[in-house]
Amino acid sequence: MRRIAIVGAGQAGLQLALGLRAAGYEVTVVSARTPEEVRGGRVMSTQLMYGPALALERELGLNLWDEQTPRIDGVRISPTDPPGVLAPERAISGALDEPARSVDQRVKTSRWLELFEERGGRVEYRKVTAEELSGVAAGHDLTVVASGHGPLGEIFGRDERHSPFQAPQRALACVYVHGTRPDPTPPPGYLRMYAFPGVGEFFVLPALTASGPCDILLWEGRPGGPFDCWGDVRDPGAALERSRQLLRSYAPWEYDLCADAVPTDAGALLTGSLVPVVRHPVAEVAPGSYVLGMADAVVLNDPVTGQGSNNAARCADRYLASILARDERPFDRAWMHETFAGWWEHARHATAFTNMVLDAPLPDHVQHVLAAAAQHPELARRYVNGFADPADYQEWLMDADRAEACLAAVSGRVAG
């Protein structure tokens, strides 16, 4: 049986590893941390996953937390103008066709690591440098790099065609909390997002952590603006207090809901920033020896559109199918490029949409469509469901001519 190494133990790497083990492959995962270290560490993301990505987990029997995890049944996007004042006439609210969910990656990946070993997989608990990848590749038929942090991701050269940004576009901070009061605005169970022109965004999303259901408060601040204020925050309590200070001025209705909130645990804080980038998918680590990048290692999007874990799940699914279809033929460079291209056919839409959202102001045709979505529920529903599959946006939102046709169709139905 063919031997496959996966460097990185997050959503993408472990989903692929468990899928390969189910098919009988000899798989080694290299993880920088043990399950205990993951559980006891800091939160890693907001990991919002929509219906299509969750279905891929269910196909592999990896949906271990469905019953405990709060459902996210829809999305409400509320502009503010000026800050501290809602503009309800421009709000977009719609139900999701399938509920979304968010499971703390500390909970998920620690258990998946254990499950992988229980199912006969081999885990090496160590950090791998870029220089060590040649040795890993020499001992396996295929090596996949599923970790884009630090120098490891940089072995894959930057693809300038799809990487318009040279610097972070948002300062990020998220804190997990218990004790928020329910949003009194119907319908319940919706992800809430607020847009502050020229300042950034704020999100509240239900999630599951080790201590039970919680809420995640996520800040996306434009660099140098008032939401770019996390450099001196060292613990979740301080982050929650800073969040309250911001909410008091920018979203006082959310400040009231967070008045009694407390951090879920000592590791319930993540701050930082990233440069959105698309990298070339294949790297030569020794003469004639190549490794294949996957998920965030080669396509890293800002979390403002919630695509990270969804991209990771889809990438793992596409790579799994390609590996199984290869049989005994070599995993050569051409196959690696072809495999990535199959996933990029989806991921390119998520990247294009995310980059457009980051690079405000939005194009005029997009602004016109979103204004119409605030008035027409069927258009709002289509827009929020596009987060689950951004490829749909190509049909009616991203292109100016198609957006014009969409608006004409909506107007015609209303007039009729």
Three-state secondary structure readout of 71-114: CEEEEEEEEECCCCCECHHHCEEEEEEEEEEEECHHHHHHHHHH
pLDDT of residue 342: 97
178, with CB counted inside 10 A (0-12, 13-18, 19+), is middle
pLDDT of residue 413: 65
- The alpha carbon of 221 is separated from its chain's Cα centroid by a whole number of angstroms, namely 17
Residue that has been written with the tokens 């294009």 in this structure: 352
Sequence length of the chain is: 416
What is the percent of the chain where pLDDT is above 70?
99
- Compute the distance between CA of residue 237 and CA of residue 241 in angstroms, rounded to an integer: 6
Residue pair 116/29 in contact (Cβ under 8 Å)? The answer is: yes
At position 322, the amino acid (one-letter code) is S
- pLDDT interval class at 23 (50, 70, 90): very high
Q: Average the pLDDT over 45-64 and give the result.
A: 97
pLDDT of residue 416: 45
Q: Is 118 left (phi over 0), alpha (psi -120 to 50) or beta?
A: alpha
Residue pair 169/254 in contact (Cβ under 8 Å)? The answer is: no
Q: Please state the pTM of the whole predicted model.
A: 0.96
- All structural domains of the chain, each given as residue ranges with its CATH number in brackets, are 3-62+106-165+278-357 (3.50.50.60), 72-102+169-272 (3.30.9.40), 362-415 (no CATH)
Largest CA distance in the chain: 67
pLDDT of residue 33: 97
- Compute the distance between CA of residue 161 and CA of residue 171 in angstroms, rounded to an integer: 24
pLDDT tens for 145-191 read 999 777 888 899 999 999 999 999 999 999 999 999 999 987 889 99
Residue pair 21/121 in contact (Cβ under 8 Å)? The answer is: yes
Question: Does residue 81 have a pLDDT over 90?
Answer: no
Q: How far is CA 127 from CA 5, 102, 119, in A?
A: 14, 27, 23
Residue pair 97/212 in contact (Cβ under 8 Å)? The answer is: no
pLDDT tens for 84-117 read 999 999 999 999 999 999 999 999 999 999 999 9
Residue pair 273/168 in contact (Cβ under 8 Å)? The answer is: yes
Residue pair 296/9 in contact (Cβ under 8 Å)? The answer is: no
- The pLDDT mean for the chain works out to 96
Lowest mean pLDDT across 3-12, 49-58, 146-155, 297-306: 146-155
